[in-house]
Amino acid sequence: RTGFLAIVGRPNVGKSTLLNHLIGQKISITSRKAQTTRHRVNGVLTNDTHQFVFVDTPGFQKQHSNALNRAMNRSVTQALGDVDVVLFVIEAGKLTAADRAVMELLPSQIPVVLVINKVDRIADKRQLLPFIATVAAEREFAAVVPLSAETGANADELLKACGPLL
């Protein structure tokens, strides 16, 4: 199965590091397909069972907070609405106003996987459980995957969680 995935999150949570870790040297740009016209393809990862196409969502990085820009927010949310899975990345132990602003733009009809990155910074991993509970109370997630994009710890779990959602 082939599926389209968008990696979203405020600046510095580790989106690029995560994509680089997942794709490694295997970066390849596919030809334009109907579903990708509103996105730029960043890379494709193929394993035994699935093809994961990672896409960018133009305009997502900008903060569209004033009333004039609500239409822009809607178009960002619509663009996200035609991927199969959204990976919402935050940093372990931190949920900031900027994270919440991104969370508000996530479409409700698409499975969102909560990626808790930088777990290598958390010495006592038991601290993750109450943190995850706090974030999961704010929104429904199809899966929650704590990992480290930098060390690669638990990164394979992300693909395992996403496969069935494609």
Quote the CA–CA distance of 36 and 163 in Å, as a whole number.
Answer: 19
Tokens of 118: 């930088």
Q: Does 16 bind Mg ion (CB under 5 A)?
A: yes
Q: Considering the complex, what minimum distance in angstroms separates the CB of residue 92 from ligand GDP?
A: 9
Q: Does 16 bind ligand GDP (CB under 6 A)?
A: yes
Nearest residue relative to ligand GDP (C-beta)? 14
**Could you count the other beta carbons within 10 Å of the beta carbon of residue 54?**
23
- Kindly determine how many residues on this chain lie close enough to bind Mg ion according to the rule CB under 5 A: 2
C-alpha pair distances (Å), 82 with each of 6, 47, 122, 159? 10, 22, 34, 19
Tokens of 61: 């990085």
Q: Considering the complex, what minimum distance in angstroms separates the CB of residue 49 from Mg ion?
A: 28
**Which one of 105, 148, 158, 161 is in contact with ligand GDP (CB under 6 A)?**
148
Q: Does 56 bind ligand GDP (CB under 6 A)?
A: no
Known binding residue 10? Answer is yes
Instruction: Name the residue among 89, 97, 103, 100 with its Cα closest to residue 147.
Output: 89
Known binding residue 11? Answer is yes
Interacting residues with ligand GDP between 95 and 134 (CB under 6 A): 117-118, 120-121
Q: Please choose, out of 11-19, 43-51, 110-118, 132-140, the segment that lies near Mg ion by the rule CB under 5 A.
A: 11-19
Q: What is the rounded (10 degree) CA torsion for 142, 23, 84, 139?
A: 30
Known binding residue 115? Answer is no
Quote the CA–CA distance of 126 and 47 in Å, as a whole number.
Answer: 31
Q: Which does 118 bind (CB under 5 to 8 A by kind): ligand GDP, Mg ion, none?
A: ligand GDP
The binding site for ligand GDP (CB under 6 A) comprises 9, 11-17, 117-118, 120-121, 148-150
